[in-house]
Amino acid sequence: MKSQRTDEIKGFAKKVGFDVVGIVCSDPIREAESYFERWISEGFQGEMKYLENYGERLKKLKERIPDAKSIIVLGANYYSRQPRREIEGPLSGRIARYAWGKDYHRVLKERLEQMEGFLKDKYSSGRFLSCVDAQPVLERSFAESAGLGFRGRQTQILNKHFGPWLFLCEIITDLDLEADEAKDGGSCGTCWECLERCPTGAIIDSHTIDARLCISYLTIEYKGIIPRRLRPLIKDWVFGCDECLTTCPFDNLSKETEWNEFKPASGFGSWLDLAALFDLRSNREYERKFKDTALLRANRKMMLRNAAVVLGNLKVPETIPTLIEALEREVPLVRVHLAWALGRIGGEQARRALERRRSCESDSAVLEEIDTSLRELSVDAGELKV
């Protein structure tokens, strides 16, 4: 009976479109929880304060479904090949692959609702709770226990059929289901590519990421001023980063997704026009443009901050007028990075713009950035004269 029920659930999950499915007992994985607590104690979560109250949130989750026995762990392959560069010219920034199409939270939630509908019809006495990121579930550990793959050094689940490109979600239930045994999904062996290739050195040890150094964290989660020393390392990543995934040998196992919602044509694809971002003058315009995509995880001022950093790294003089105009009207967070970008690009036009802004700037952080950029421009000019 238990085996038949489990097979029916897995069969429907595949019918709905999930690429991988496994089932585990809902008992906590103590090793994973201990590791997470140590990770938090080291401060590696940065400003993601919502991660710090994991224990309290888990307690509330258990109150919602106190007799939980099983967790159905589901995975969706979101890999799409890199399309040709949609935006001609050098003024574009890269987007992490997970955000090329529609917002995966919405997409997976719709499929989970189909799963829940099936489960409630089939097992009316059961209780079910769907999770897509928002619940305190250490999903990668559960996915590993369910045989969906193994955790790579860069902490992602690596699957022998789909590589590192899986979205994970779960359904917690009080049904007693047959748990899968963790399979030998492979290992990183002697490979340390992700650690060696990470631009900022955010992967500080096997299975340990310091989010405060991670480009994905800095461009998506972090709301403050990006440290100066990290800005050049961001290169042309305007939203997220895939370096530790594309350098992973398991990337060679990737297959094109069958989920149309995750394909580039369903969203903004792999590149953003940076200059066009500065044409979005209000939060409403910004939210309207990026509606139904994961790009809204970063608000307008964060995205303009990111765009300024990328333009500073690209060092294209033709962008100076756009940067100068934005410097006169944007909020301090954006102005700091615009001043840095102008200093990076350099030239007389950029120098004059920074001096002009300095005469009327009231924000201390922006003033500090302008002064630093002007000093660096003076040094560069002196070196050129020599």
CA distance 383 to 386: 5
CA distance 336 to 360: 14
Written as one string, the DSSP assignment of 154-223 is: TS-EEBTTTBT-EEEEEEEESS--PPPPPP-----TT--HHHHH-TT--EEETTEE-GGG-HHIIIII--
Element (H, E) at 94: strand 92-95
Cα 366 off chain centre by: 28
Question: Edge to edge, what strands does the sheet with 128-131 contain?
Answer: 20-25, 70-77, 166-173, 128-131
CA distance 217 to 316: 26
Task: Report helix, strand or coil for 92.
Answer: strand
Element (H, E) at 342: helix 332-345
144 phi-psi bin (left φ>0, alpha ψ -120 to 50, beta other): alpha
Instruction: Give the residue among 104, 82, 102, 80 at the shortest CA–CA distance from 271.
Output: 82
Cα 320 off chain centre by: 29
Active centre residues (catalytic): 133
CA distance 26 to 142: 9
- Are 146 and 181 in contact, with CB atoms under 8 Å apart? no
Task: Report helix, strand or coil for 263.
Answer: coil
In the chain, where does DSSP find H-type helix? 2-16, 30-41, 54-64, 104-122, 139-145, 193-197, 215-216, 231-234, 243-246, 274-277, 283-289, 300-314, 320-327, 332-345, 348-358, 364-385
CA distance 38 to 30: 12
